Amino acid sequence: MAAPVARARQHVRVVPLRKVADGIRTDPIRVASSMSSEATPDQPPSPERPPAGGDLVVRHRFATRLWHWVNVVALVVMLMSGLMIFNAHPRLYWGQYGANPDPAWFEIGSRGDQGFARLGSLQISTTGVLGVWRDSTGNIQHRAFPRWATIPSSYSLADARIWHLAFAWLLALGLLAFMIASLINRHFRRDLTISRADIRPSHIWHDIKQHARLRFPTGAAALRYNILQKLSYIGVIFILLPLIIFTGLTLSPAMASSWGWLLDLFGGRQSARSLHFLAAAGLVGFALVHVVMVLLAGPYNEVRSMISGRYRLPRDKGQRR
Amino acid sequence: MIRRRSLLGGLALGGSGLLLSGCDKLNASPGFRNLLEGAEQLHYRSQRLLGGGAALAREYGRADMSPLFRTNGNRTPASLAYAALAENNFIDWRLVVDGLVARPLRLSLADLGRLPQRAQITRHDCVEGWSAIGKWQGPQLAAILRAAGLSSRANFIVFHCADDFGGVPYYESIDLNDAFHPQTILAILMNDHRLPVPHGAPVRLRVERQLGYKHAKFVMRVEARERIDDLYLGKGGYWEDRADYAWYAGI
Protein backbone atom coordinates (compact mmCIF):
# COMPACT_ATOMS: atom_id res chain seq x y z
CA MET A 1 0.00 0.00 0.00
CA ALA A 2 3.01 2.27 -0.16
CA ALA A 3 2.72 2.76 -3.88
CA PRO A 4 0.17 5.60 -3.87
CA VAL A 5 2.33 7.62 -1.53
CA ALA A 6 5.41 7.11 -3.62
CA ARG A 7 3.49 8.00 -6.72
CA ALA A 8 1.98 10.96 -5.01
CA ARG A 9 5.46 12.19 -4.26
CA GLN A 10 6.38 11.93 -7.88
CA HIS A 11 3.34 13.54 -9.36
CA VAL A 12 2.10 15.97 -6.81
CA ARG A 13 3.50 19.35 -6.21
CA VAL A 14 2.78 19.66 -2.54
CA VAL A 15 1.61 23.11 -1.56
CA PRO A 16 2.61 24.53 1.76
CA LEU A 17 -0.37 25.26 3.95
CA ARG A 18 0.69 28.85 4.31
CA LYS A 19 0.05 29.39 0.62
CA VAL A 20 -3.11 27.36 0.76
CA ALA A 21 -4.44 29.33 3.68
CA ASP A 22 -3.49 32.62 2.05
CA GLY A 23 -5.12 31.43 -1.10
CA ILE A 24 -8.36 30.62 0.64
CA ARG A 25 -8.56 34.11 1.95
CA THR A 26 -7.34 36.08 -1.05
CA ASP A 27 -6.11 34.61 -4.28
CA PRO A 28 -7.15 31.72 -6.42
CA ILE A 29 -5.38 28.79 -4.86
CA ARG A 30 -2.50 27.09 -6.50
CA VAL A 31 -2.61 23.48 -5.66
CA ALA A 32 -1.83 20.38 -7.61
CA SER A 33 -3.92 17.28 -7.34
CA SER A 34 -2.79 13.79 -6.76
CA MET A 35 -2.49 11.58 -9.77
CA SER A 36 -2.33 8.45 -7.68
CA SER A 37 -4.54 5.46 -8.33
CA GLU A 38 -6.65 6.02 -5.24
CA ALA A 39 -7.26 9.68 -5.92
CA THR A 40 -8.27 10.70 -9.38
CA PRO A 41 -9.70 14.18 -9.15
CA ASP A 42 -12.66 15.36 -11.17
CA GLN A 43 -10.63 18.02 -12.88
CA PRO A 44 -7.11 17.87 -14.19
CA PRO A 45 -4.54 19.50 -11.92
CA SER A 46 -4.66 23.22 -12.31
CA PRO A 47 -2.67 25.92 -10.62
CA GLU A 48 -5.80 28.09 -10.40
CA ARG A 49 -8.14 25.64 -8.67
CA PRO A 50 -8.85 25.89 -4.91
CA PRO A 51 -7.87 22.85 -2.84
CA ALA A 52 -10.47 20.11 -2.90
CA GLY A 53 -11.03 16.66 -1.50
CA GLY A 54 -8.31 14.27 -2.60
CA ASP A 55 -5.58 16.91 -2.82
CA LEU A 56 -2.35 16.31 -0.99
CA VAL A 57 -1.35 19.45 0.82
CA VAL A 58 1.19 20.41 3.45
CA ARG A 59 -0.87 20.82 6.56
CA HIS A 60 1.48 21.13 9.54
CA ARG A 61 4.57 23.30 9.74
CA PHE A 62 7.90 21.85 10.81
CA ALA A 63 7.84 23.60 14.20
CA THR A 64 4.40 22.15 14.92
CA ARG A 65 5.43 18.63 13.89
CA LEU A 66 8.69 18.69 15.84
CA TRP A 67 6.99 20.05 18.96
CA HIS A 68 4.21 17.50 18.68
CA TRP A 69 6.57 14.53 18.83
CA VAL A 70 8.82 16.07 21.46
CA ASN A 71 5.66 16.50 23.51
CA VAL A 72 4.57 12.90 22.99
CA VAL A 73 7.82 11.81 24.64
CA ALA A 74 7.98 14.58 27.23
CA LEU A 75 4.35 14.29 28.35
CA VAL A 76 4.39 10.49 28.59
CA VAL A 77 7.57 10.60 30.70
CA MET A 78 6.28 13.49 32.81
CA LEU A 79 2.98 11.74 33.44
CA MET A 80 4.44 8.34 34.32
CA SER A 81 7.27 9.70 36.48
CA GLY A 82 4.76 12.12 38.03
CA LEU A 83 2.47 9.25 39.01
CA MET A 84 5.44 7.62 40.75
CA ILE A 85 6.16 10.87 42.60
CA PHE A 86 2.48 10.99 43.59
CA ASN A 87 2.88 7.46 44.98
CA ALA A 88 5.30 8.83 47.58
CA HIS A 89 2.43 10.81 49.11
CA PRO A 90 -0.88 9.94 47.43
CA ARG A 91 -2.93 12.71 49.06
CA LEU A 92 -3.87 16.17 47.80
CA TYR A 93 -4.66 19.27 49.84
CA TRP A 94 -5.68 22.90 49.43
CA GLY A 95 -3.72 25.72 51.02
CA GLN A 96 -0.17 26.48 52.10
CA TYR A 97 0.44 23.28 54.06
CA GLY A 98 -0.88 19.73 53.97
CA ALA A 99 0.41 16.46 55.42
CA ASN A 100 -1.02 13.26 56.85
CA PRO A 101 -2.71 14.89 59.89
CA ASP A 102 -4.49 17.40 57.61
CA PRO A 103 -7.69 16.79 55.61
CA ALA A 104 -7.02 15.71 52.01
CA TRP A 105 -9.60 16.40 49.29
CA PHE A 106 -8.30 13.51 47.20
CA GLU A 107 -6.56 10.36 48.25
CA ILE A 108 -5.61 6.95 46.89
CA GLY A 109 -4.87 4.41 49.57
CA SER A 110 -5.47 1.02 51.06
CA ARG A 111 -7.04 -0.54 54.12
CA GLY A 112 -5.82 -4.07 54.57
CA ASP A 113 -6.12 -5.74 51.19
CA GLN A 114 -8.64 -3.19 49.85
CA GLY A 115 -7.53 -0.38 47.58
CA PHE A 116 -9.59 2.78 47.35
CA ALA A 117 -9.74 6.20 45.73
CA ARG A 118 -11.51 8.95 47.64
CA LEU A 119 -12.70 12.30 46.28
CA GLY A 120 -14.10 14.38 49.13
CA SER A 121 -16.59 12.08 50.82
CA LEU A 122 -17.06 9.92 47.73
CA GLN A 123 -15.02 6.73 47.98
CA ILE A 124 -14.80 3.93 45.46
CA SER A 125 -13.10 0.56 45.68
CA THR A 126 -10.14 0.26 43.31
CA THR A 127 -8.56 -2.98 44.49
CA GLY A 128 -6.32 -4.45 41.80
CA VAL A 129 -5.76 -1.16 40.00
CA LEU A 130 -5.17 1.65 42.51
CA GLY A 131 -3.99 1.39 46.11
CA VAL A 132 -3.56 -2.40 46.11
CA TRP A 133 -2.30 -4.36 43.10
CA ARG A 134 -0.01 -7.22 42.16
CA ASP A 135 3.47 -6.62 40.77
CA SER A 136 5.12 -8.64 38.00
CA THR A 137 6.11 -11.39 40.43
CA GLY A 138 2.57 -11.66 41.81
CA ASN A 139 3.34 -9.94 45.11
CA ILE A 140 0.71 -7.59 46.47
CA GLN A 141 1.84 -3.96 46.50
CA HIS A 142 0.29 -1.19 48.53
CA ARG A 143 0.97 1.81 46.33
CA ALA A 144 -1.36 4.26 44.61
CA PHE A 145 -0.57 3.86 40.91
CA PRO A 146 0.39 0.42 39.56
CA ARG A 147 3.69 -0.52 37.95
CA TRP A 148 2.46 -0.23 34.36
CA ALA A 149 1.60 3.42 34.91
CA THR A 150 4.85 4.63 36.46
CA ILE A 151 8.49 5.36 35.62
CA PRO A 152 10.32 3.49 36.91
CA SER A 153 7.93 0.55 37.32
CA SER A 154 9.25 -0.38 40.80
CA TYR A 155 8.89 2.15 43.58
CA SER A 156 11.62 4.78 43.55
CA LEU A 157 10.82 8.38 44.36
CA ALA A 158 14.45 9.39 43.74
CA ASP A 159 14.55 7.87 40.25
CA ALA A 160 11.16 9.28 39.28
CA ARG A 161 12.34 12.73 40.34
CA ILE A 162 15.47 12.41 38.21
CA TRP A 163 13.30 11.68 35.15
CA HIS A 164 10.60 14.21 35.99
CA LEU A 165 12.90 17.13 36.68
CA ALA A 166 15.08 16.53 33.60
CA PHE A 167 12.17 16.13 31.17
CA ALA A 168 10.53 19.19 32.73
CA TRP A 169 13.16 21.27 30.95
CA LEU A 170 12.25 19.63 27.65
CA LEU A 171 8.54 20.28 28.22
CA ALA A 172 8.94 23.90 29.32
CA LEU A 173 11.60 24.99 26.85
CA GLY A 174 9.76 23.08 24.11
CA LEU A 175 6.58 25.04 24.79
CA LEU A 176 8.51 28.31 24.84
CA ALA A 177 10.26 27.53 21.54
CA PHE A 178 6.98 26.43 19.95
CA MET A 179 5.27 29.63 21.08
CA ILE A 180 8.03 31.79 19.63
CA ALA A 181 8.06 29.80 16.37
CA SER A 182 4.28 29.96 16.11
CA LEU A 183 4.29 33.70 16.54
CA ILE A 184 6.94 34.03 13.82
CA ASN A 185 5.36 31.59 11.36
CA ARG A 186 1.92 32.98 12.27
CA HIS A 187 0.53 29.57 13.17
CA PHE A 188 -1.28 31.08 16.16
CA ARG A 189 -2.77 33.95 14.13
CA ARG A 190 -3.77 31.87 11.14
CA ASP A 191 -4.99 28.71 12.77
CA LEU A 192 -5.89 29.37 16.40
CA THR A 193 -7.39 32.85 16.40
CA ILE A 194 -11.10 32.65 17.13
CA SER A 195 -13.15 34.66 14.67
CA ARG A 196 -16.47 36.29 15.44
CA ALA A 197 -18.18 33.74 13.22
CA ASP A 198 -16.52 30.93 15.20
CA ILE A 199 -18.22 31.87 18.44
CA ARG A 200 -21.77 32.37 17.15
CA PRO A 201 -23.81 30.01 19.37
CA SER A 202 -25.47 28.50 16.29
CA HIS A 203 -22.05 27.79 14.82
CA ILE A 204 -20.73 26.22 18.02
CA TRP A 205 -23.89 24.11 18.28
CA HIS A 206 -23.46 23.04 14.67
CA ASP A 207 -19.84 21.94 15.34
CA ILE A 208 -20.89 20.03 18.45
CA LYS A 209 -23.57 18.20 16.47
CA GLN A 210 -21.16 17.42 13.64
CA HIS A 211 -18.63 16.06 16.16
CA ALA A 212 -21.25 13.98 17.93
CA ARG A 213 -22.29 12.46 14.60
CA LEU A 214 -18.60 11.91 13.79
CA ARG A 215 -18.94 13.97 10.62
CA PHE A 216 -15.62 15.56 9.88
CA PRO A 217 -15.01 18.46 7.51
CA THR A 218 -14.04 17.63 3.96
CA GLY A 219 -12.21 19.40 1.18
CA ALA A 220 -10.76 22.83 1.89
CA ALA A 221 -12.79 23.09 5.10
CA ALA A 222 -10.57 20.36 6.57
CA LEU A 223 -7.65 22.79 6.41
CA ARG A 224 -9.17 24.98 9.09
CA TYR A 225 -9.62 24.09 12.73
CA ASN A 226 -13.23 24.21 13.83
CA ILE A 227 -14.17 26.01 17.01
CA LEU A 228 -13.98 22.90 19.20
CA GLN A 229 -10.50 22.12 17.91
CA LYS A 230 -9.40 25.71 18.40
CA LEU A 231 -10.72 25.76 21.95
CA SER A 232 -8.99 22.47 22.79
CA TYR A 233 -5.66 23.53 21.36
CA ILE A 234 -5.87 26.98 22.96
CA GLY A 235 -6.79 25.31 26.24
CA VAL A 236 -3.76 23.03 26.07
CA ILE A 237 -1.19 25.51 24.75
CA PHE A 238 -2.20 28.61 26.72
CA ILE A 239 -3.87 27.22 29.84
CA LEU A 240 -3.05 23.61 30.76
CA LEU A 241 0.64 23.52 29.80
CA PRO A 242 1.53 26.89 31.39
CA LEU A 243 -0.54 25.90 34.44
CA ILE A 244 1.28 22.60 34.86
CA ILE A 245 4.69 24.26 34.37
CA PHE A 246 4.09 27.11 36.81
CA THR A 247 2.39 24.95 39.45
CA GLY A 248 5.37 22.59 39.09
CA LEU A 249 7.78 25.46 39.68
CA THR A 250 5.79 26.44 42.79
CA LEU A 251 6.58 23.03 44.29
CA SER A 252 10.27 23.89 44.23
CA PRO A 253 11.13 25.52 47.56
CA ALA A 254 13.87 27.58 45.90
CA MET A 255 11.51 28.86 43.18
CA ALA A 256 8.81 29.58 45.75
CA SER A 257 11.43 31.71 47.52
CA SER A 258 12.71 33.56 44.44
CA TRP A 259 9.25 33.94 42.93
CA GLY A 260 7.05 34.33 46.00
CA TRP A 261 4.20 35.49 43.75
CA LEU A 262 3.78 31.88 42.63
CA LEU A 263 2.58 30.99 46.15
CA ASP A 264 0.10 33.88 46.06
CA LEU A 265 -1.07 33.10 42.54
CA PHE A 266 -1.93 29.48 43.29
CA GLY A 267 -2.92 29.91 46.94
CA GLY A 268 -0.04 27.99 48.49
CA ARG A 269 2.26 25.10 47.74
CA GLN A 270 -0.29 22.39 48.44
CA SER A 271 -2.90 24.11 46.27
CA ALA A 272 -0.28 24.29 43.53
CA ARG A 273 0.36 20.56 43.96
CA SER A 274 -3.37 19.85 43.61
CA LEU A 275 -3.64 22.08 40.53
CA HIS A 276 -0.53 20.37 39.11
CA PHE A 277 -2.32 17.02 39.43
CA LEU A 278 -5.59 18.36 37.99
CA ALA A 279 -3.76 19.92 35.03
CA ALA A 280 -2.12 16.55 34.40
CA ALA A 281 -5.56 14.92 34.48
CA GLY A 282 -6.75 17.54 31.98
CA LEU A 283 -3.84 16.78 29.65
CA VAL A 284 -4.55 13.05 29.89
CA GLY A 285 -8.18 13.77 29.00
CA PHE A 286 -7.10 15.87 26.03
CA ALA A 287 -4.68 13.19 24.83
CA LEU A 288 -7.35 10.48 25.01
CA VAL A 289 -9.89 12.51 23.01
CA HIS A 290 -7.13 13.60 20.63
CA VAL A 291 -6.09 10.00 19.88
CA VAL A 292 -9.71 8.86 19.46
CA MET A 293 -10.36 11.70 17.02
CA VAL A 294 -7.23 10.80 15.05
CA LEU A 295 -8.37 7.18 14.86
CA LEU A 296 -11.86 8.21 13.72
CA ALA A 297 -10.64 10.77 11.22
CA GLY A 298 -8.25 8.33 9.53
CA PRO A 299 -5.08 7.53 11.44
CA TYR A 300 -2.82 7.01 8.43
CA ASN A 301 -3.55 10.38 6.88
CA GLU A 302 -3.56 12.19 10.25
CA VAL A 303 -0.33 10.65 11.55
CA ARG A 304 1.38 11.18 8.18
CA SER A 305 0.42 14.84 8.28
CA MET A 306 2.12 15.13 11.68
CA ILE A 307 5.28 13.38 10.43
CA SER A 308 5.90 14.65 6.90
CA GLY A 309 3.33 17.41 7.00
CA ARG A 310 1.48 15.95 4.00
CA TYR A 311 -2.25 15.58 4.36
CA ARG A 312 -4.78 14.38 1.85
CA LEU A 313 -7.91 16.49 2.08
CA PRO A 314 -10.89 14.25 2.81
CA ARG A 315 -13.30 13.96 -0.11
CA ASP A 316 -16.75 15.48 0.01
CA LYS A 317 -19.63 13.09 0.28
CA GLY A 318 -20.54 12.04 -3.21
CA GLN A 319 -17.29 13.34 -4.70
CA ARG A 320 -16.14 10.94 -7.40
CA ARG A 321 -13.25 8.65 -6.48
CA MET B 1 -6.04 1.02 4.45
CA ILE B 2 -7.03 -1.91 6.67
CA ARG B 3 -3.48 -3.13 6.76
CA ARG B 4 -2.17 0.29 7.60
CA ARG B 5 -4.67 0.62 10.40
CA SER B 6 -3.84 -2.73 11.95
CA LEU B 7 -0.18 -1.91 11.57
CA LEU B 8 -0.67 1.35 13.46
CA GLY B 9 -2.70 -0.44 16.13
CA GLY B 10 -0.03 -3.10 16.48
CA LEU B 11 2.66 -0.46 16.73
CA ALA B 12 0.70 1.32 19.48
CA LEU B 13 0.23 -1.87 21.50
CA GLY B 14 3.80 -3.02 21.06
CA GLY B 15 4.98 0.50 21.75
CA SER B 16 3.37 0.68 25.17
CA GLY B 17 4.98 -2.60 26.19
CA LEU B 18 8.35 -1.51 24.89
CA LEU B 19 7.93 1.83 26.61
CA LEU B 20 7.71 0.23 30.04
CA SER B 21 10.61 -2.16 29.73
CA GLY B 22 12.54 0.45 27.73
CA CYS B 23 12.19 3.06 30.46
CA ASP B 24 13.31 0.60 33.11
CA LYS B 25 16.33 -0.30 30.97
CA LEU B 26 17.17 3.36 30.45
CA ASN B 27 16.68 3.94 34.17
CA ALA B 28 19.35 1.32 34.87
CA SER B 29 21.74 2.61 32.21
CA PRO B 30 24.55 4.67 33.81
CA GLY B 31 24.99 6.82 30.71
CA PHE B 32 21.35 7.79 30.50
CA ARG B 33 21.13 8.39 34.25
CA ASN B 34 24.15 10.67 34.07
CA LEU B 35 22.44 12.62 31.31
CA LEU B 36 19.25 13.02 33.33
CA GLU B 37 21.14 13.80 36.53
CA GLY B 38 22.94 16.54 34.63
CA ALA B 39 19.73 18.52 35.03
CA GLU B 40 20.61 18.95 38.73
CA GLN B 41 23.39 21.34 37.72
CA LEU B 42 20.87 23.28 35.61
CA HIS B 43 18.55 23.54 38.60
CA TYR B 44 21.37 24.60 40.90
CA ARG B 45 22.76 27.25 38.57
CA SER B 46 19.47 28.62 37.30
CA GLN B 47 17.94 28.84 40.76
CA ARG B 48 21.01 30.47 42.27
CA LEU B 49 20.95 32.90 39.34
CA LEU B 50 17.25 33.70 39.72
CA GLY B 51 17.29 34.27 43.45
CA GLY B 52 20.70 35.90 43.30
CA GLY B 53 21.35 33.37 46.07
CA ALA B 54 19.75 35.80 48.50
CA ALA B 55 15.99 35.29 48.14
CA LEU B 56 14.19 34.59 51.40
CA ALA B 57 11.80 31.71 51.83
CA ARG B 58 8.21 32.75 52.58
CA GLU B 59 7.65 33.45 56.27
CA TYR B 60 4.15 32.91 57.59
CA GLY B 61 2.00 34.16 60.44
CA ARG B 62 0.95 32.17 63.48
CA ALA B 63 -2.46 31.52 61.96
CA ASP B 64 -0.85 29.67 59.05
CA MET B 65 0.91 27.07 61.19
CA SER B 66 0.13 23.36 60.82
CA PRO B 67 -2.02 22.19 63.76
CA LEU B 68 0.16 19.07 63.89
CA PHE B 69 3.65 18.98 62.34
CA ARG B 70 4.25 15.42 61.19
CA THR B 71 7.61 13.75 61.66
CA ASN B 72 9.61 11.81 59.12
CA GLY B 73 12.88 9.89 58.88
CA ASN B 74 14.32 8.66 62.14
CA ARG B 75 12.04 9.52 65.10
CA THR B 76 14.92 8.95 67.50
CA PRO B 77 18.55 7.95 67.12
CA ALA B 78 19.23 4.37 68.11
CA SER B 79 22.60 4.93 69.80
CA LEU B 80 23.04 4.46 73.56
CA ALA B 81 25.21 7.58 73.70
CA TYR B 82 22.33 9.66 72.32
CA ALA B 83 19.88 8.04 74.71
CA ALA B 84 22.15 9.01 77.61
CA LEU B 85 22.34 12.62 76.36
CA ALA B 86 18.56 12.80 75.94
CA GLU B 87 18.03 11.28 79.38
CA ASN B 88 19.94 14.19 80.87
CA ASN B 89 18.11 16.83 78.79
CA PHE B 90 21.19 17.33 76.62
CA ILE B 91 23.04 19.19 79.39
CA ASP B 92 26.18 17.20 78.52
CA TRP B 93 25.67 17.56 74.77
CA ARG B 94 28.20 19.66 72.88
CA LEU B 95 28.05 20.75 69.28
CA VAL B 96 31.47 20.27 67.71
CA VAL B 97 32.41 22.85 65.08
CA ASP B 98 35.60 21.85 63.30
CA GLY B 99 37.27 21.12 60.00
CA LEU B 100 38.56 24.10 58.04
CA VAL B 101 38.16 26.63 60.85
CA ALA B 102 40.72 28.70 62.73
CA ARG B 103 39.10 28.09 66.15
CA PRO B 104 37.28 24.75 66.58
CA LEU B 105 34.33 25.13 68.97
CA ARG B 106 32.43 23.00 71.42
CA LEU B 107 29.07 24.63 72.09
CA SER B 108 26.47 23.67 74.67
CA LEU B 109 22.73 24.21 74.20
CA ALA B 110 23.06 27.16 76.57
CA ASP B 111 25.83 28.60 74.39
CA LEU B 112 23.60 28.34 71.33
CA GLY B 113 20.78 30.01 73.27
CA ARG B 114 23.04 32.93 74.20
CA LEU B 115 23.91 33.71 70.58
CA PRO B 116 21.67 36.21 68.75
CA GLN B 117 18.48 34.33 67.88
CA ARG B 118 16.45 34.22 64.70
CA ALA B 119 12.84 33.01 64.82
CA GLN B 120 10.98 32.17 61.62
CA ILE B 121 7.67 30.57 60.73
CA THR B 122 8.42 28.67 57.55
CA ARG B 123 7.10 25.88 55.38
CA HIS B 124 8.84 22.52 55.51
CA ASP B 125 8.55 20.82 52.10
CA CYS B 126 9.18 17.10 52.12
CA VAL B 127 10.56 15.46 48.99
CA GLU B 128 7.53 13.16 49.20
CA GLY B 129 5.20 16.05 48.49
CA TRP B 130 3.68 17.11 51.79
CA SER B 131 4.26 20.43 53.56
CA ALA B 132 4.00 21.53 57.18
CA ILE B 133 4.40 25.02 58.61
CA GLY B 134 6.11 25.54 61.93
CA LYS B 135 8.11 28.05 63.94
CA TRP B 136 11.82 27.56 64.35
CA GLN B 137 14.27 29.50 66.48
CA GLY B 138 18.03 29.39 66.97
CA PRO B 139 21.31 31.08 66.10
CA GLN B 140 22.22 31.72 62.50
CA LEU B 141 24.78 29.26 61.19
CA ALA B 142 26.68 32.24 59.76
CA ALA B 143 27.35 33.61 63.27
CA ILE B 144 28.76 30.27 64.42
CA LEU B 145 30.97 29.92 61.33
CA ARG B 146 32.28 33.46 61.84
CA ALA B 147 32.98 32.76 65.52
CA ALA B 148 34.94 29.66 64.50
CA GLY B 149 36.90 31.58 61.86
CA LEU B 150 35.92 29.74 58.67
CA SER B 151 38.88 29.16 56.37
CA SER B 152 38.79 30.62 52.88
CA ARG B 153 39.51 27.09 51.63
CA ALA B 154 36.13 25.83 52.87
CA ASN B 155 33.45 25.25 50.23
CA PHE B 156 30.97 23.08 52.07
CA ILE B 157 29.50 22.74 55.52
CA VAL B 158 28.80 19.15 56.55
CA PHE B 159 26.36 18.18 59.31
CA HIS B 160 27.10 14.92 61.10
CA CYS B 161 24.07 13.52 62.91
CA ALA B 162 23.43 11.17 65.84
CA ASP B 163 20.96 9.01 63.91
CA ASP B 164 21.73 6.20 61.50
CA PHE B 165 20.04 3.83 59.10
CA GLY B 166 21.28 0.28 59.66
CA GLY B 167 24.52 1.55 61.14
CA VAL B 168 25.20 4.13 58.41
CA PRO B 169 25.18 7.57 60.03
CA TYR B 170 22.99 10.33 58.62
CA TYR B 171 24.80 13.37 57.31
CA GLU B 172 24.08 16.27 55.01
CA SER B 173 26.01 19.08 53.40
CA ILE B 174 25.30 22.54 51.96
CA ASP B 175 27.30 25.13 50.07
CA LEU B 176 28.44 28.43 51.58
CA ASN B 177 25.63 30.36 49.91
CA ASP B 178 23.11 28.40 51.95
CA ALA B 179 25.38 28.30 55.00
CA PHE B 180 25.49 32.10 55.18
CA HIS B 181 21.85 32.61 54.15
CA PRO B 182 20.03 34.61 56.86
CA GLN B 183 17.33 31.94 57.28
CA THR B 184 19.84 29.12 57.75
CA ILE B 185 19.74 28.51 61.49
CA LEU B 186 20.56 25.76 63.96
CA ALA B 187 17.11 25.45 65.48
CA ILE B 188 16.95 24.74 69.19
CA LEU B 189 13.27 25.70 69.58
CA MET B 190 10.28 24.49 67.56
CA ASN B 191 6.90 26.15 68.01
CA ASP B 192 8.37 28.00 71.05
CA HIS B 193 9.38 24.79 72.86
CA ARG B 194 12.63 22.87 73.12
CA LEU B 195 12.99 20.83 69.96
CA PRO B 196 11.19 17.49 70.52
CA VAL B 197 13.26 14.37 69.91
CA PRO B 198 11.24 13.24 66.83
CA HIS B 199 12.00 16.63 65.24
CA GLY B 200 15.74 16.38 65.83
CA ALA B 201 16.59 17.35 69.43
CA PRO B 202 18.71 19.01 70.49
CA VAL B 203 19.50 20.81 67.20
CA ARG B 204 18.10 20.66 63.71
CA LEU B 205 19.47 22.48 60.69
CA ARG B 206 16.96 24.71 58.90
CA VAL B 207 17.96 25.42 55.31
CA GLU B 208 14.68 26.86 54.15
CA ARG B 209 15.07 26.95 50.39
CA GLN B 210 15.64 23.21 50.10
CA LEU B 211 13.63 20.05 50.65
CA GLY B 212 13.22 18.35 54.02
CA TYR B 213 15.99 15.77 53.77
CA LYS B 214 18.58 18.58 53.74
CA HIS B 215 17.33 19.74 57.17
CA ALA B 216 19.59 17.45 59.18
CA LYS B 217 18.21 16.42 62.58
CA PHE B 218 20.15 15.43 65.74
CA VAL B 219 23.17 17.49 64.60
CA MET B 220 26.30 16.57 66.58
CA ARG B 221 29.08 18.07 64.52
CA VAL B 222 29.41 20.89 61.99
CA GLU B 223 32.44 20.35 59.78
CA ALA B 224 33.80 22.81 57.22
CA ARG B 225 35.30 21.06 54.21
CA GLU B 226 36.92 21.92 50.93
CA ARG B 227 35.21 19.03 49.17
CA ILE B 228 32.54 16.45 49.87
CA ASP B 229 33.29 13.84 47.22
CA ASP B 230 35.82 12.18 49.55
CA LEU B 231 33.26 11.74 52.34
CA TYR B 232 31.27 8.49 52.75
CA LEU B 233 30.08 7.55 49.24
CA GLY B 234 30.91 10.97 47.90
CA LYS B 235 27.52 12.44 47.08
CA GLY B 236 27.25 14.80 50.04
CA GLY B 237 24.47 13.25 52.07
CA TYR B 238 22.94 10.04 53.35
CA TRP B 239 20.04 9.89 50.89
CA GLU B 240 22.23 11.20 48.08
CA ASP B 241 24.66 8.31 48.71
CA ARG B 242 22.04 5.69 49.39
CA ALA B 243 19.22 6.39 46.94
CA ASP B 244 20.48 8.91 44.39
CA TYR B 245 18.50 11.84 45.75
CA ALA B 246 19.79 15.11 44.36
CA TRP B 247 22.40 16.89 46.49
CA TYR B 248 20.87 20.19 45.43
CA ALA B 249 17.32 19.91 46.75
CA GLY B 250 15.97 23.31 45.78
CA ILE B 251 13.45 21.56 43.55
The Cα of B171 is separated from the nearest Cα of chain A by a number of Å equal to: 18
The Cα of A92 is separated from the nearest Cα of chain B by a number of Å equal to: 9
Instruction: Enter the DSSP assignment of A192.
Output: I
Tell me what the pLDDT averaged over chain A comes to. Answer: 86
Mutation test of the interface with chain B: which of A171, A252, A312, choosing the one with the most B Cβ atoms within 10 A? A252
A98: nearest CB among B33, B131, B209: B131
Q: What's the pLDDT score for residue B10?
A: 61
Cβ neighbourhood burial of B124 (10 Å; 0-12, 13-18, 19+): buried
Report whether A49 contacts A31 (CB < 8 A): yes
pLDDT, tens digit (0-9, with 9 covering 90-100), for A1-51: 333 433 333 344 455 544 444 434 333 333 434 344 344 444 444 566 788
Chain A's closest residue to B3, CA to CA, is A1
The Cα of B100 is separated from the nearest Cα of chain A by a number of Å equal to: 28
Residue-wise over B96-123: b if at least 16 C-beta within 10 A, else e? ebebbbeeebebebeebeebeebebbbb
Write out chain B residues lying below 8 Å of A102, CB-based.
66-68
Q: Which CATH number fits domain A62-98+148-296: 3.40.50.300, 1.20.950.20, 2.70.150.10, 3.50.50.60?
A: 1.20.950.20
Q: Do A80 and B23 touch (CB under 8 A)?
A: yes
Here the ipTM equals 0.91
For CATH 1.20.950.20, list the domain ranges present in chain A: 62-98+148-296
Across A69-92, average pLDDT: 97
Distances (CA, A) of B88 to A213, B91, B109, B191: 79, 6, 12, 22
**Total-model pTM:** 0.88
pLDDT, tens digit (0-9, with 9 covering 90-100), for A92-127: 999 999 999 999 999 999 999 999 999 999 999 999
Write out chain B residues lying below 8 Å of A89, CB-based.
126, 128-130
Q: Do B243 and A158 touch (CB under 8 A)?
A: yes
pLDDT of chain B, 251 residues: tens digit per residue: 455 556 555 665 566 667 777 899 999 999 999 999 999 999 999 999 887 678 999 999 999 999 999 999 999 999 999 999 999 999 999 999 999 999 999 999 999 999 999 999 999 999 999 999 999 999 999 999 999 999 999 999 999 999 999 999 999 999 999 999 999 999 999 999 999 999 999 999 999 999 999 999 999 999 999 999 999 999 999 999 999 999 999 99
Could you tell me which residues are beta bridge partners of residue A91?
A: A107
Domain B59-243 - what CATH class? alpha beta
Write out chain B residues lying below 8 Å of A101, CB-based.
66-68, 70
Phi, psi of A190 (to 5 degrees): -75, -45
The Cα of A134 is separated from the nearest Cα of chain B by a number of Å equal to: 16
Q: Do B130 and A91 touch (CB under 8 A)?
A: yes
Q: Structural domain boundaries of chain B?
A: 59-243
